[in-house]
Amino acid sequence: MTSSSSSSFRSYKYDVFLSFRGEDTRKNFVDHLYKALEDRLVRTYKDDITLPRGESVGSTLLKAIEESNIAVIVFSKNYAVFYDVDPSEVRKQKGEFGKAFAKQETENVTKAESWRNALVDTSNISGWEPKNLANGHESAAIKEIVDTIFNRLFPLDLDVDVDEKLVGMRDRLQDLILRLKIWSGGVLMVGIWGIGGGGKTTLATSLYTKISRQFEGHCIIESIREESHKRGLKRLQEDILSAVFKTKGQVHSVAEGKRKIKSMLCHRNVLVILDDVDHLDQLEALAGSHKWFGDGSRIIITTRDEHLLRTHRVDHVCPVTLLSHEEAIGLFNNHAYNEKKQVTDYEKLSSRVVFYAAGLPLALKILGSFLYDKDEKEWMSTLARLKNIPESEIVEKLKLSYDGLKNVEKELFLDIACFFRRSSRNDAMEILDACGFHPDIGITVLIQKSLITIDSEGKFDMHDLIQEMGHFIIRGEHLDNPEKHSRVWKYEDIKKMYDGDATTENDKIEAIRDYQGLDMDSFQKELWRSHKHLPQLKVLQLHSSRKLISTPNFDGLPCLQKLELCSCDDLEEVHPSIGNHRSLKSVTVSACPNLRMFPTIFKMESLELLGIYSCHKSLKFPDIQANMESLVELNLNGIGIEGLLSSIGERCTSLISLHLYNCFIIKSIEINFDRLKHLKDFRFCGNTQPGEMLLDLFTEVFPQLTHCLQRLDLGDCCLEDGEIPSAIGEMLSHFSL
């Protein structure tokens, strides 16, 4: 076998030229060799098949040789792989081969001499003797020959030749090839997972182009998410069989397709790429298990959903990485730079677009192609428009991940996109849990679907364009009317609602974001000027609303579940309607120094957490007039109260946690602790009280808690040696002190 020394620098019409004597081998060895090469898609010249009729044989053959990358010479008894002839016979022109050569020599001595020298050189080239390969089994010998030729033609090197427009693909492709371990046996399933538009399909198709010829059969099934809905799984199963076997496959049912793929591929070395999978039944129908495929097979799956890959038990999950800044500039320039229509300040403008795309290849390609023939004014207009209206083609591609979510997961994602990006995961989870989103499982789903991430500081994050997609979904057809949105998060929209002539009733809004430092001058003493009916609002957070004097009437917020009032310096009144609110689950009031009274509680049966921190020292503990069986946590910190009412013991019998920090001027404790049968955590810290009250606490209260209490904290109560009764020591075995 010989090949051109310049093969890497030119293209060839044929991969292999077969040189043989027809009478000896045309219908046996050469025919089998040709078929094996064709099955591997090696372009092979064989004169009885490839030679056009009517053309001169000599000149055509010479031209075909020049246009071929590799020449395979089959030496046979009557011709110059050494088939049924020993290499030494060719080198020394002896035996049957020598007799045939001597006959030629009598006809033309000069030509025979040049042939003789060429044969000596040719016989010294490393070749194959089929009788000495695979114990003389011809089919196995042919396979070894074809494998060697194939590897010579398509070497699996790591210096991969990637389309120059696919910026950043070389290193990613190299890493993926190493992960596939193509040189080893076994069957591997590998998933490529990541954000929509992140380059998963591009990476997979580049891999396919590079290595597909290394396999006995190969296929790539594109856009499975879309095609499975349009054409059904049976057609996709047919596509696999047709591509691998080069014949029209026919499947009458998904179950039959599974059986056929397994039975027909289980002994074949194949490469199968399944692109954009979004449901487990697709994997079960197209690549049910490792046992479906022969030794050495590699199955590549691209998806936005990591959970699918884990559930299908793939061997490796390869997260796709977005482009670096330099790579992003390169990719954008490939699509946007126009030598014939150069734009003033191109570098500055292109940098703004690249920053907007944030490394997402899809956005860089779409925007680059769109701006290719635009002038500077049109570039500026496009950038201005993107601030408020995202490119629809990008949004629709990204939105596919959102569309695949369950309704509760959609709501969870939209809340994070609007309110909790770059917020502490723990803090956000508390709110989301209060809203009934069951966020533990929901957050896992969103991460697996590449919609959100959690950064190294434990904060929620997501790609800029994913967040923009979420905002676009909420704004829908009412871009400029925030009162039609389910969530309001933009400063100007919130201000418009607080101020001006916003309608008094709204059945769309579920959450409003409070901006710390929002100018409340225009709002004066109230959050909004007229009565608002917002039946879908679930969370209201007012932080640093320093000029707010009173809260709104909560009757207009019937579905409110979480209320936070923090650092509202001038707040004097919490509207009495809160005491009748049946949906609230969490109420936290902190750092409101002018708040002197909390309304009487009448019907807050859903309340689970009540926390009052650092308000006016004369703030009175709310009077409780109704059973609060849902209340499990009561926290009081830095407030002055005369006494802890007996209503806590009578009305709050489900309490698990009771924290009293720095509650000065306490004169008496009237709680019937014996009824708090679930109390596990009691903290009474920083309370410098009269000694007789602490003695009552030790002698009367604590003995009632020994059956359930697990933690007792008496820190900073100025207790001295001998002031804690010895009976407390007997209780230490029941809880931590």
User: Where in 48-197 does DSSP place strands (E)?
Assistant: 68-73, 188-193
Check whether domain 606-736 has CATH 3.80.10, yes or no? yes
Among 342, 567, 614, 362, residue whose Cα is nearest residue 464: 362
Cβ atoms within 10 Å of 12's Cβ, excluding its own:
17
Question: What pLDDT is stored for residue 286 in this prediction?
Answer: 97
> Could you check whether 14-153 and 169-319 share the same CATH topology?
yes
What is the domain partition of the chain in residue ranges? 14-153, 169-319, 325-389, 394-468, 606-736
Bridge partners of 682, per DSSP, are 658, 712
Q: What is the Cα–Cα distance from 337 to 624, expressed in whole angstroms?
A: 71
pLDDT in tens, 648-697: 878 888 999 988 887 655 556 666 777 788 888 888 776 655 555 555 56
Class of 169-319 in CATH: alpha beta
pLDDT in tens, 600-619: 898 898 999 999 988 887 77
Q: Which fold has domain 394-468?
A: Arc Repressor Mutant, subunit A (1.10.10)
Count Cβ atoms within 10 A of the Cβ of residue 348 and give its class: 0-12 exposed, 13-18 middle, 19 or more buried: exposed
pLDDT band at 710 (very low <50, low <70, confident <90, very high): confident
Q: What is the Cα–Cα distance from 505 to 531, expressed in whole angstroms?
A: 8
**Contact predicate 357/463, CB 8 Å:** no
Class of 14-153 in CATH: alpha beta
Query: pLDDT averaged over the chain?
Result: 81
**Contact predicate 717/686, CB 8 Å:** yes
pLDDT in tens, 517-576: 444 443 446 676 667 787 878 888 888 888 888 888 898 889 898 898 998 888 988 999
Q: Pick the range with the lowest mean pLDDT from 366-375, 492-501, 706-715.
A: 492-501
Q: Pick the range with the lowest mean pLDDT from 131-145, 420-434, 723-737.
A: 723-737
Count Cβ atoms within 10 A of the Cβ of residue 200 and give its class: 0-12 exposed, 13-18 middle, 19 or more buried: buried
pTM: 0.64
CA 484 from centroid of its chain's CA atoms: 31
Dihedral sign for Cα 104, 109, 112, 117, please: positive
pLDDT in tens, 106-116: 766 676 677 67
Altogether, the residues listed in the chain come to a count of 737
